[in-house]
Structure 1
Amino acid sequence: MHKSAVVIFLSLFLLSSVLSGCGGSDAVETVTPTPPTPTEPVLDHSGLTPFNIDVIDKSEYLSGGEATTFVSNKNAFSRKPAAIIGDFQLDGFFTQGDHLFRTPDDDIGPILSTGSCQGCHLNDGRGVVPGTPTTPMSSMLVKLANGKGEADPIYGDQIQPFSIHGFIDGNALSAGFSKHDGSVSGVQLYGEAFPFIVFETITGSYPDGSAYALRNPVYKVRDLSYGAFMEDIRFSARVAPQAFGVGLLDAIPQENLLALVDENDANGDGISGRASMVTNVFATKGNDEKVIGRFAYKAQNPTVLQQVAGAYNGDMGVSTSIIASEPCLDTQLACLLAAEQENKTGDEVDLGDHSLALVEFYNRVLAVPARRGYDKDSDIWTEEVTAGRKLFLQANCSGCHTPRHVTGDAKGSELGELSLGGLTANTDSQHAQSIAVLSNQTIYPYTDLLLHDMGGSCVVTRETTDGLSCSTGAECLYVQRCEGLADGVIQGDASGTEWKTPALWGLGLVQTVNKDASFLHDGRARTIEEAVLWHDGEAKDSKETFMNYSKAEREQLLAFLQSL
């Protein structure tokens, strides 16, 4: 027998033996593979394919979806979407709301921080930090609370630095400044107190040896008109943020935001966002269920309407149907006396619902600036921006600054339906029409609207201008020094170290709109780079990743942020 034939014979013999030894038969059994179990596609909190670190979304340059504007000059934050321009009635509402936003109400005060919405939101952008310790705060404010989050029994939860006597056409004059014990008698009306900031310099360097310098703020308060603050007082200085895009954030479904909550850091990335749950003043009677807060620095307001009404009352001393009281506490007799002299009777409020609804509409539909660094004709992003986007995501900055959301139905105002004839109140069967340009939009705000612990701590002392310890007297200031971004002020669910993630859209145009603007809640950061370097707490790992990038990589990441 040929050698190859022998090999084949032996192989068949062995195979037959093995099958026989295992109880097999002459026929080889065919095994049919089990088909894999179908799996649900992985989707993000908005029901979309997860954001891709390597592939840029086709519509990513349209930050506000259909509510995007392509204006990128000093008016970039004050534009209306094309859908509003093309509708005669909606354009009229926008124009009227814009006028009210910029014009002081007839009944501002008796005590206040500014005379109009535009007085804080300069050109619809950010406010500014006063240039000197003797310049009053006119587009930023100071919140108050003790260590338990309780408001001061005399001054409430916010310092109003001016009285109405110091305002002419909405401009602050020194006659309205506070005066030490000036209003204790209950006769003379002065602003409540004079808060100011001085800066200390902190220097440091990156691992590659590049140096940097930061401004660390020290908050001080002098000239209290109504006597001393309560024990254990804390201060939170805040610059007015830009006003655009809020209607889109208002329209993100609550369940989508709650899907981002990771309170116990289940995914182990060091980030544990919490929802700020607050009361909606328009909740159905008997329904005390809280909803997610989205607006203000600690997410204490759930809707644009409540945020606007709160600003009118706390910042301008203007009452509305939502907050009908004047900003005077029962202990402020001079303030109460001035309020009685305002030009209204009975239960009238300073700003009627029609005007309030117009300002709400204006705020909600202010357009979002488009991203820069993209050529629509060629569908190409600049290399710097593309590389910076990848570095941003690799550093897990998106763990808080969630890039993309989808809005739901942007319901009409809770105040009623605007028309050329006025305002028609909502009924059980009829509600104001939804705002189409804000509804069902894919947007790129870069925020999760959740609370995050940014670390730090604060100490309040009493000192003279020379830094000597004191306890009472006109020369005895309140002084608060903090480490990191903490303010020590509890507001609602937010602790003294927690802040809501701010939206990053429009970031690169902030100083185009207002050359004197700066960054972070109190304006301490003069540049975007400084703002990144202040991150700590839950953001510490991302900040350290940024610091460990090469100089070229850091510049790419900053170029990406400038493009937003």
Structure 2
Amino acid sequence: MKNYSCKQQNIINLLTKKPTKQTNLVQFLMPIFKPRSLQWISRLAPFAGAISLGLIVACGGSGGGSTQPEPPEIKDPPIVIEPPKNELPEVSADVVDPSEVNAGGEVTVARSDEDAFGQSAPKVSSDFNLDANFKAGNMLFRNTHAGQGPILNTATCQGCHVKDGRGHIPMDSSEPMDAMLIKISAVDGQDEPTYGGQIQTFGIASFEGNDPTAGLPRYNGAINTGEALGEAYVYIEFTEINGQYPDGENYVLRQPTYRIKDLSYGDISPGSLLSPRVAPALFGLGLLGAIAETDIRALADPNDANNDGISGRVNQQQTILSDEVKLGRFGSKAFTTSVLHQTVMAYRGDMGITSSIVPDEPCTVLQQACIDKAADEPNGGNEGSDITHVELALVEFYSRTLAVPKRRGYDAASETWQADIWLGRQKFFNIGCTGCHVPRHQTGEAAGSVLGEIQLNQLTPDAAPIEALSSQVIWPYTDLLLHDMGGSCQPLTRELVTGESCSGGEMCEYVLRCDGLADGRPEGLASGSEWRTAPLWGLGLVKTVNPRATYLHDGRARTIEEAILWHGGEAQTSLEQFKLLNKNERAAVIAFLESM
């Protein structure tokens, strides 16, 4: 068999994940590596005149100091630093910019209730056709879909992104994960042979009848009974960590340990890597996607040339049809390049809904019960898949045009911020937080969907740019770059609940322990301790929208203050400066963040 390059091999792993009876993996992807061949053209023939597909891929990254076996070294690609296309006045800690109150520019809405994250851009809601597309996408986002499963994490997009906001962690070990998930990789960074790229908690039986426990994992259950059960049950144990500010005020953090039991399809391969992820909020994605790639790359400083201790790096992927390398900007490790890419991967990985872009069911070749159940599914999409291109385009449009909530605490008449918010903003700037949380950007032209223009119930080629998202001054407080946040992970162990080591059997659980924010799992060019700078807009409304929501990529932080205190690595200096603030100044920083 031909030896593929790293990028080619990851095309296989990212876009097909778990091969099934539908597609022979190599036969389907071989044409991708010969884009001018007749064979490749024949694959595209069904889509001619209707769509243009861009499937995004990447190579694996370094281990980031984890005690896991180190994957092959990946060197950063050369970065061409170009001046930003949109020259705006420098943002100052001491100068009020009235535009900051409208964090999404013209894509801002004055909502601060439980529906604050679910509103459309004003230019969309005021246009009959665009509003109809938004509402149609909203309906698809909130409802189940024919052909979902056979294994899945949740039944709807809304099931994870609660009211278009953040998901939540289980209340205790008796509640299965339904708004967060666990990504998994083999020791070499590729998909784990039995469980693929993420652990699905449920089998479709949990959503087909009145018993939500029917599809939950059981030890060797899928092997012994042939039922397409959920893959494994993951629960969290927290250890409290006590700390104290220099002024004597105490604080308490909680360190998560992840335990996996009830594996339905057999053992996990030795050395596997895990990464817990809580579903993020969705508003503002279209604006982030419309920031010029050159503007984001201009912020990167991988070798810390300015000696400020901050070394932002890009994650990037290659598009198959054009062979273009594009910036990754979505997901906890900036692993996906577009809202459409994020959407098709979530449909397939989280809900078991296939598309012609990602055609394989979420079953590995070692999950025969899952493969057999998938053979009985109805397929109403393109090329025998579960979802049509029109449906994908509608959900993509909905996700891209969700508006950003307006900031609170600003008096437009006097052009002043509330005193504590303004003090907190000054401190936030002065202790260096804006080195990663870059306050302001300007969007360029927001290209239309590569799938085409939505016209009633069909797509036409060459979608027009989305005017509502274009040329907007926005305040997301992110650079969309990767930063090393410190920490490391121990290798995955096997233990009884009492703590003794074990080698197998129903009572033997897999255990992941990490220090700091690291997950130990590379993703693309991101190491096991690197994370994309999370946008801060909407932060103060997270719990208003979903009272159970918590903070950080894995939901460990119960408050914004706890989230700050978990920062390390490149953010360590800013963290120490935050700790040195007096109690009122720290409260002011929190008030500033809660005003977003």
- Answer whether TM exceeds 0.5 for this pair: yes
The residue type paired with residue 385 of structure 2 is V
Retained in 2: the 8 A contact 1:292–1:302?
Answer: yes
- Pair 1:560-2:574 in alignment: no
2:121 to 81, 94, 102: 81
1:440 aligned to 464, 471, 476, which one? 471
Q: Residue by residue, what CA displacement relative to the aligned partner does 1:455-503 show, whole Å, maximum 9, x if unpaired? A: 1111121110111111100000001111100001111111110111110
Q: Would you identify which runs of 4 or more consecutive aligned residues in structure 1 move more than 3 Å?
A: 43-46
1:223 to 262, 281, 287: 262
Within a 5 Å distance, the mapping from 1:408-557 to structure 2 comes to 408-424=444-460, 426=461, 431-459=462-490, 460-557=492-589
The alignment's C-alpha RMSD in Å is 1.6
Given that 1:306 and 1:322 are in contact with CA atoms closer than 8 Å, whether structure 2 keeps it comes out as: no
Measured in 1, the distance between the counterparts of 2:531 and 2:211 equals 30
Q: Distance in 2 between matches of 1:494 and 1:301?
A: 12
Read off the aligned partner of 2:347 and give its amino acid letter: Y
Spell out the pairing of 1:59-78 with structure 2 (5 A cutoff).
Answer: 59-78=99-118
**Greater Cα radius of gyration, structure 1 or 2:** 1
Q: Which amino acid aligns with 1:432?
A: A
Are 2:392 and 1:356 aligned? yes
Whether the aligned pair in 2 keeps the contact of 1:463 and 1:470 (CA below 8 Å) is: yes
Q: How is 1:174-323 mapped onto 2 (pairs within 5 angstroms)?
A: 174-185=213-224, 187-281=226-320, 283-284=321-322, 287=323, 289-323=324-358
Question: Match for 1:478: what amino acid?
Answer: Y
SS at match of 2:486: coil
Match of 2:155 in 1: 115
Q: Does the 8 A contact of 2:84 with 2:294 survive in 1?
A: no
Q: Distance in 1 between matches of 2:403 and 2:211?
A: 30
1:504 and 1:172 mapped to 2: Cα distance?
A: 39
CA apart distance, 1:186: 7.5
Instruction: Summarize deviations over 1:366-407 as a string: whole Å, max 9, x none.
Output: 000011111223322111111111100111101111110110
Distance in 2 between residues matched to 1:455 and 1:405, nearest whole Å: 27
Match 2:404 to one of 362, 368, 386: 368
Report percent identity of matched pairs. 49
Residue 102 of structure 1 and its aligned partner are, at CA, apart by 0.1
What is the alpha-carbon distance in structure 1 between the residues aligned to residue 472 and residue 571 of structure 2? 29
Q: Does 1:127 align with 2:167?
A: yes
CA contact (8 A) 2:390 2:457 kept: no
Paired amino acid for 1:395:
I
Structure 2 unaligned spans of 5+:
1-82
How many residue pairs get matched? 513
Question: Which runs of 5 or more structure 1 residues have no equivalent in the other structure?
Answer: 1-42
Instruction: Specify the code of the residue in structure 1 equivalent to 2:126.
Output: G
Distance 2:296 2:243 in 1: 37
* SS across alignment from 1:279: strand
The CA deviation at 1:44 is 6.5
Partner Cα separation in structure 2 for residue 148 and residue 454 of structure 1: 22
Match of 1:103 in 2: 143
> Partner letter of residue 483 of structure 1?
D
Residues 147 and 270 of structure 1: CA distance in aligned 2, closer, same or farther (over 3 Å): farther
Q: Is the 8 A contact 1:141 1:239 kept in 2?
A: yes
Q: Residue 552 of structure 1 aligns to which amino acid in structure 2?
A: N
TM-fit CA distance, 1:107: 1.1
Cα distance in 2 for partners of 1:157, 1:257 equals: 28
**What is the match of residue 39 of structure 2?**
none
Residue 421 of structure 1, CA deviation: 4.1
Q: Hey, what's the Cα distance between the residues in 1 that align with 2:410 and 2:282?
A: 24
> 1:344 & 1:63 partners in 2: Cα distance?
41
Contact 1:162 1:177 in 2 (8 A): yes
CA distance in 2, matches of 1:562, 1:446: 13
Q: CA deviation at 1:145?
A: 1.5
- 412-421 vs 470-479, greater mean Cα deviation: 412-421
AA matched with 2:285: V
Q: In 2, distance between residues paired with 1:549 and 1:146?
A: 43
Give the partner amino acid of 1:391. Answer: K
Q: TM-score, normalising length from structure 1? A: 0.89
CA distance in 2, matches of 1:520, 1:45: 31
Deviation at 1:172, TM superposition (A): 7.5
Q: Does the 8 Å contact 2:489/2:513 carry over to 1?
A: yes
Give 3-state SS (helix, strand or coil) of 1:481's partner. Answer: strand
Q: Secondary structure at the match of 1:167?
A: helix
Q: SS at the partner of 1:203?
A: strand
Distance (whole Å) between structure 1 residues aligned to residue 247 and residue 419 of structure 2: 23
Q: Distance in 2 between matches of 1:47 and 1:185?
A: 64
> One-letter code of the match for 2:145?
D
Distance (whole Å) between structure 1 residues aligned to residue 449 and residue 510 of structure 2: 42
Give 1:229 deviation, angstroms: 0.5
